[in-house]
Amino acid sequence: MSSTPASADLFHISATYLEMTFDGTRFDASLYDLYGELTLTRDVAPLDNVSLIHWIPEDIGSGALSLWMDLDNITANTATAIGGFTITDFDGDTLTGDITGNWAIIGHYPSFSGAMSNIQWTTDDGFFNGNDGSPDNSLSLDFASAPPWDGSIVELTTGHTTWFSYAWEEPWRVKRGGGLEGVVIPTPTAVLLGILGLGAVGLKLRKYA
């Protein structure tokens, strides 16, 4: 991914060292308690970034990534997927969204790329708070473009060669490693106007029903 953000990018999401399971149809991923780290990087002035490091003892459980997907059309090296994610900061504010895309084997490892949509930001203070929740470790998610936002998962990789041909079972039911890179952008105006238009139509229908 380029080090210079595109002008439309609002912020980037990255996570390292995931903990993952697959029960035969559903894939789940979260930050690994011992080494997982989640970072949000703001690409619109004021540029900034903030991290949640899951292994800092006093902060375990204070922030988390939860991502899930239902896999379908699984072949020997490809699969389709649909799901969602929730990111929770130090004081309980949340980023949530929907995910859709495709899995494939790239460089021997299962890798996912796809789209994020309907990204919502629920907050009581306007900031994504990292470890310790201090003002020095907080990132403003106040943009000219209000939620819902769209985005893309540039890459999600498991870091393991095991494919989704069968449910992951003991002793290797839980896989650890891999990482996530995603970018969030404003919802395109045409799409937003379409949503608003549908809402207006619904109001008219209810008015005259």
Task: Write the DSSP string, the chain.
Answer: --SS--TT--EEEEEEEEEEEE-SSEEEEEE-TTT-EEEEEE-SSSPEEEEEETTSGGGTTSSEEEEEEEEES--SSEEEEEEEEEEE-TTS-EEEEEEEEEEEEETTEEEEEEEEEEEEEE-SSSEEE-TT--GGGEEE---SSPSPEEEEEEEEE-SS---SSS---TTSSSEEEEEEEEEEEEPPHHHHHHHHHHHHHHHHHHHH-
Is residue 56 in a domain?
yes
Residue 196 has pLDDT above 90, yes or no: no
Is residue 155 in a domain?
yes
Is residue 190 in a domain?
yes
| pLDDT tens digit sequence for 27-79 | 999 988 888 899 999 999 999 999 888 655 554 444 689 999 999 999 999 99
Is residue 3 in a domain?
no
Is residue 4 in a domain?
no
Is residue 104 in a domain?
yes
| pLDDT tens digit sequence for 120-150 | 999 999 999 988 777 788 999 999 999 999 9
Radius of gyration of the chain, Cα coordinates, nearest whole angstrom: 18
Which range marks the domain in which residue 125 is found?
A: 11-208
Domain count, the chain: 1
Is residue 25 in a domain?
yes
